[in-house]
Amino acid sequence: MTREEILNKYGKSKDNLLYILHDIQDNNPRHYLTEEDLRAVANWLNLPYSYVHGVATFYSMFSLKPRGKYIIRVCESPTCHLMGSSDVIVELVKTLGIGIGETTKDELFTLELTSCIGVCGVAPAMMINEEVYGNLTPEKVKQIIEEKRRESK
Amino acid sequence: MAEMVKLFIDGREVEVEQGSTILEAAKKAGIHIPTLCYHPDLPPTGACGVCVVEIEGSPTPKRSCCTPVAPGMKVTTNSKALREVRKTIVQLLLSDHDVTCPTCPANEKCELQSLANYLGVDMNGLPAILERKPIDETSISIVKDPNKCILCGRCVIVCNELQTVSAITIANRGFEAEVDTFFSQGLGNSPCVNCGQCTVFCPTGALSERSEIDLVWDALLDPDKVVVVQEAPSIRATLGEEFGMEIGTVTVGKMYAALRKLGFDYVFDTNFAADLTIMEEANELVERIKTGKPLPLITSCSPGWIKFMETFFPDLAEHVSTCKSPQQMFGALAKTYFAKEAGIDPSKIVSVSIMPCTAKKFEARRPEMRDSGYQDVDYVLTTREFVRMLKSAGIDLKELPDEKPDELMGMYSGAGTIFGATGGVMEAAVRTAYWMITGKELENLDITAVRGMAGIKEAELDINGLKVKVAVAHGLGNARELLTKVRKQIEETGKSEYAFIEIMACPGGCVGGGGQPKGSTFAMRARRGEGLYKEDKSLPIRRSHENPAIKRVYEKFLGKPGSEVAHRLLHTYYYKRCDQTGCTLEAVTEKHVGHH
Amino acid sequence: MKIARMHVLLPVDPDTVLAGVMEFQKALLEELRKRNLEEEIKVLETGSIGITGKGILMVVYPEGIYYANLKVTDIPRIVEEHFLKGRPVKDLLLGEVPARFVKKEKVGLTREQKRVVLENVGIIDPENIDDYIAAGGYEALEKVLTSMKPEDVIEEIKKSGLRGRGGAGFPTGIKWESAKKAPGDEKFVICNADEGEPGTFKDRLILEGDPHKLIEGMIIAGYAIGAEKGYIYVRGEYELSIRRLQKAIQDAYSYNILGKNILGTNVNFDLEIKKGAGAYVCGEETALIESLEGKRGQPRNKPPYPVTHGLWMKPTVVNNVETLANVPSIIKNGAEWYRTMGTEKCPGTKVFTILGHVVYPGLIEVEMGTPLRDIIFNYGGGIKDGKRFKAALVGGAAGVFLPESLLSVRMDFDNLKQYSAVLGSGAILVMNEDTCMVDMLFSIIRFFKHESCGQCTPCRIGTYELYALINKVREGEAKEEDLDKMISLSEAMFKSSFCPLGQSLVMPVKSAIENFREDFLAHLDKNYKCEKCRR
């Protein structure tokens, strides 16, 4: 879908802003919103550019920087923390060779920390794009990353 | 008749209108509640929490600035617990603040500083956690320093709702939240029109003007240079209050004395150039009324308004007067007319202006403002910068004698002085236009219908039988409203009901300008304006065309209003600007002889 | 439900999907087909049954046998032994069937749990509206539309004493009454499904397991206050919930339960799902409303309250999922029935989430006022791996650390207040003796620092200061006065933050430092070895 097609699905009302941004971001293989995207949305909804920028930067799910093919979101909330998420995070940083909020050089993975994703029963947990992975251990996480690497080829 | 509510504050009974806030009720009862982010002219945001008060029956204290009163409410404004809370809030702000008071542009006017002093806050109570962000210096007029921002939210409300420019927003969340432009591209690359209202409302040094104080000192101390200075009408009505005098006191004589003490070689007055602007603009108005178009004529002396017009209303550019602002007319003449009269090499002249305005810094550097052959105005100092210079030189305005300006470009009429108040340009222009059209003098010089703080004012004037409808708007939000109406009228009927419109970018007019002292409330602006009208009434000459200095400059130099020389030096043209980045796109008017 | 000899329920939720339940289901259906058993043995997808961390689960009726940790390779054995020969496969059963699943009747409901909100979850197929109706669904709606005036509905809810289940515990009937009385031609009902409180997924269970119950509750709420439009604000991460809700809404429209002239009356109600975008603060009702209006999700000042000035400044009722899910049962069975459960001031039931170092982590629904000890030891099975209990974080991240001495506290809004604790979302995180309280407090402060909206000074900078201070403690750079500083700072935040997010930090900070001061004092020594804080 082109950006224009996405915009045309929505009425020119300010309360559609978040959903338009969601759709445009999901439509981008690098999972982010570009400067042109924000300008186009602002023009469509007749809002100041600065306003759209202010809204887009408030919510965790939007990114203004290109991200990897796989966005890893590790839950850092107290429940997962109690069940060992720190070890998982340390392992991911080691395996991927990047810091939190960064993307690997091959543009495959972005590592982010997130707040509770509501799957506390299998803590520690993480999401890779829309898929949930739970009962994580440093070993398991290494395997999952390798699996994803193979999948992407 | 609004319903009244009775409540108790610190045991005192007070009665206020329903819908009032606790803060308003406390004010009425004469009880002081400390505040920080609250500003009387803006809707409360509740950001800082300093104004919290205890309410009987409420489990937590509530912000008095935005909590409405309820009948029988029992409020405590001062308790040990509340004092601790307020101190903690200030401590939090200071731990996230670049504390550099002596070099900060807001030093001694900073509301955070005075609150910390008032509450007696231990500045080292909490670990310092400031994460330095870069200072935005992309704009010619305004500097944004995020390390001093307390996120009160005033600037964002002012830019978006009052001025309707929307150059800035609050971006990011939590501790990362900051006042920012689109994609952090900087004020200089945003639709910012340089009006500077944000710098006036900003309680700290986070938003302030780009300083030219050092450049002016260098010029003053350079024996090779001849430094001439002009001062806007508003300055004389504002200076006094910064030295302890009553708001609205006109201290023009002391102002000249202070400037001479600083070392300026020639002390002129922008009011002279204001009279000049009236000559040229009234002439322009008369021409347009005679030919029937293009009307309405819209004033052009507010550079914040001009950039606003170029950005959001370029389709109305042909309506805007081709006259330069008084500052720029003065600049062009200083390095031609004055240089000639005084026998000075114009390349040695440094032309400085004292302005209540941040946009004038941008205006002086517009590439077309070089009709003298040099940059017509070299440096612009805001009222705030001027006051800092005086204080740093140990000059106390109150102690100075009254002096006179250098007359060549310093003599002015009452019409020139009222330029500083909203409606003043309109009134001044009408006094001369009347004479130009009818050949007779306007008897009642006080056109009160266009005076005062109402956002949009209208009047129908009777110029010896000729009915002329005029309108005045101040504050860009009001300007937008008025001009949207005019634009619609022209689109639908080919013409507008108005013949003449005055627009000032700043609420109150220049007395409320973006370069005026921080903390200028609307009430203070109104009183400064009244000071100017008082001066006008006291002057022997109240019409621009009767000013001897004006008569002289036409006789000796310009010929007549609208002449070729006048056009070359005193008129200008405008651009169209991108409404989201402010960058220039194309020129939309022309400058050539016989334009209208 | 069609009449079959045997019903096999497969709970489908993120936990079991993770474990591979979809592939298992395919394989099971294939096996049944091979054996010509498809007609007599019905396989149903259902919502979570509240058991977590036990892989693929399966419940077989009419016996009510629970299997756990199943693999595809177990299928032939189960079908052969259990389905054909009637002998449950013992080594695949869910260990010792925990107390909460011991029941008198052979069908469905357990004895010790009082499942009102969750009565259908794990029993019916959430994607089948007929299942819901067969189980008694939409009877309450019918009763309301045919024999009750809006005022009667509000009276009934008021009499029942139902209080908001999102955390604040505000009397729902009074909220509805205020909205009904508020002047305005357009009113709204909003369901707050932004569930972001760490350690909570009760709303997800209801959305995934019994979406029609929520829909029914919302329509009744709309009727009561005079609203014809409802929104369900679901957090963006709840994919399955959104899908199930969309199906349920679609079905409800086709059955004329939503839309114009519901069930032939002149009552209208439209329902729409709106996705969140990742901000815990949007769980606060005014921040949620701001988000719906396309703005930054920053809380508004109250008063005015949403009941008079809500969505687009119109009268709006914002209720939590669990609150609305109580409504159909209350209407159907009456306020007196509801009051037979729970306590005088907090009637009814509550869904609790038990997580952490317990044997049986998961969800239960029990009467308000159940002692904490019972929840942790009877339902949760006590501390696993033979460890000792150290602390329970009750209420969510914005909760209180309770030590062993306070385990007898009864879980309802008012009883917990005595201990400066709150019921919150009903999350209970159980910690064993190896837990470092400094580390846990660190995790909570980090959470709030990330989620603060930044609008008000006390919270925006206060959370960051607390973060700096707790890090000092972790790294051995702190002095004892820093601990008191943390408490007084969080108390100042309680008194001056704009919304409950900043106000609530005083609970975990104060309770952690006061109830477990030894942990903190130990960390003041730079040489103290703590595995969690000092790597």
C200 and C81 in a single domain? The answer is no
Q: Note the pLDDT tens digit of each residue in C255-309.
A: 999 999 999 999 999 999 998 888 889 889 999 999 999 999 999 988 889 999 9
The rounded radius of gyration (Å) of the Cα atoms in chain B is: 25
Q: Say whether pLDDT at C102 is over 50.
A: no
Sequence-distant (6+) residues with CB within 8 A of B285 are B297, B429, B433, B499, B500
Query: Could you tell me how many residues make up chain A?
Result: 153
Task: Output the pLDDT for position B593.
Answer: 38
Check whether residue C365 and residue C316 sit in a common domain. no
Please indicate, yes or no, if residue C117 is contained in any of the structural domains.
Answer: no
Do C17 and A82 make contact, defined as CB atoms within 8 angstroms?
A: no
Is pLDDT at C105 greater than 60 in this prediction?
Answer: no
Please tell me the distance in Å from A56's CA to the nearest CA on chain B: 8
Q: Concatenated DSSP letters for B50-81?
A: TTEEEETT-SS-EETTTPBP-TT-EEE---HH
Q: Please check whether residues C398 and C447 belong to one and the same domain.
A: no
In terms of domains, do C156 and C286 share one? yes
Greatest CA separation found in chain B? 79
Q: Is residue C122 part of a domain?
A: no
Domains identified in chain C, total number: 4
Give the integer Cα–Cα distance in Å for B303 and B313: 14
Q: Does residue C284 lie in a domain region? A: yes
The answer on whether A123 is annotated among ligand-binding residues is no
For residue B98, how far is the Cα from the chain centroid? 27
Chains touching A by CB (3 or more pairs below 8 Å): B, C
Q: Report residue C6: phi and psi, to 5°.
A: -145, 140
Q: Examine residue C56 and state whether it is found in any structural domain, yes or no.
A: yes
Q: Is residue C530 in a domain?
A: no
**Whether residues C22 and C134 fall in one domain:** no
CATH code assigned at C517: 1.20.1440.230
- Per-residue pLDDT tens for C354-396? 999 998 888 888 899 999 999 998 888 889 899 999 999 999 8
Residues C145 and C209 in one domain: yes
Confidence category of residue C112, pLDDT binned at 50, 70, 90: low
Instruction: Please indicate whether residue C120 or residue C462 has the higher confidence score (pLDDT).
Output: C462
Coil, helix or strand for B143? strand
In a domain, C109, yes or no: no
Considering only alpha carbons, which residue of chain B is nearest residue A43? Answer: B580
In a shared domain, residues C191 and C323: yes
Asked if C381 and C292 sit in the same domain, the reply is no
For residue B333, what pLDDT is reported?
97
Per the CB < 8 A criterion, the answer to whether A53 and A17 are in contact is: no
Mean pLDDT, residues C4-16 taken together: 84
Select from C296, C301, C496 the Cβ nearest to the Cβ of B66.
Answer: C301
In a domain, C118, yes or no: no
Q: Is A46 annotated as a binding residue?
A: no
The domain in which residue C156 lies consists of 129-338
Q: Are residues C209 and C62 in the same domain?
A: no
On whether residue C178 sits in a domain, the answer given is yes
B180 touches chain A (CB under 8 A): yes
Residue labelled with tokens 């202006």: B353
Q: Which of C319, C338, C357 is the last residue of a domain?
A: C338
Q: What is the predicted pLDDT for the residue at B424?
A: 96
CB atoms C450 and A135 under 8 Å: no
**CATH code assigned at C157:** 3.40.50.11540
Catalytic residue ranges of B = 281, 284, 301, 321, 360, 363, 368, 510
Instruction: For residues C410 and C445, state if they share a domain.
Output: no
* Entry pTM: 0.91
- Known binding residue A116? Answer is yes
DSSP codes of every residue in B479-499? HHHHHHHHHHHHHHHSS-S-S
Q: Coil, helix or strand for B178?
A: strand
pLDDT value at position C121?
Answer: 80
φ, ψ of residue B84 in degrees (nearest 5): -65, -45
Extract the residue ranges of chain B whose pLDDT is less than 50.
592-596
Is B160 close to A48, i.e. CB distance below 8 A? Answer: yes
Q: Is B101 within 8 Å of chain A by CB?
A: no
Mean pLDDT of C153-182: 94
* Residue C322 sits in the same domain as residue C367: no
Nearest CA in chain B to C463: B175
- End of a domain among C303, C338, C373? C338
Query: Which chain C residues contact residue B170 at CB under 8 A?
Result: 296, 454
Instruction: Tell whether C134 and C279 lie within a shared domain.
Output: yes
Helix, strand or coil, per DSSP, at residue A78 = helix
Residue that terminates a domain, selected from C432, C452, C487: C432
What's the pLDDT at C95? 61
Helix-strand-coil split of chain B, %, nearest 5: 45, 15, 40
Q: Which domains does chain B have, with CATH numbers?
A: 4-78 (3.10.20.740), 100-206 (3.30.70.20), 213-589 (3.40.50.1780)
Question: Looking at per-residue confidence, does B594 or C128 come out higher?
Answer: C128
Task: Compute and round to an integer the Cα radius of gyration of chain A.
Answer: 17
pLDDT score of A153 more than 90? no
Q: Beta strand pairing status for C188-193 and C41-46?
A: unpaired
- Whole-number Å distance between alpha carbons of B595 and C13: 76
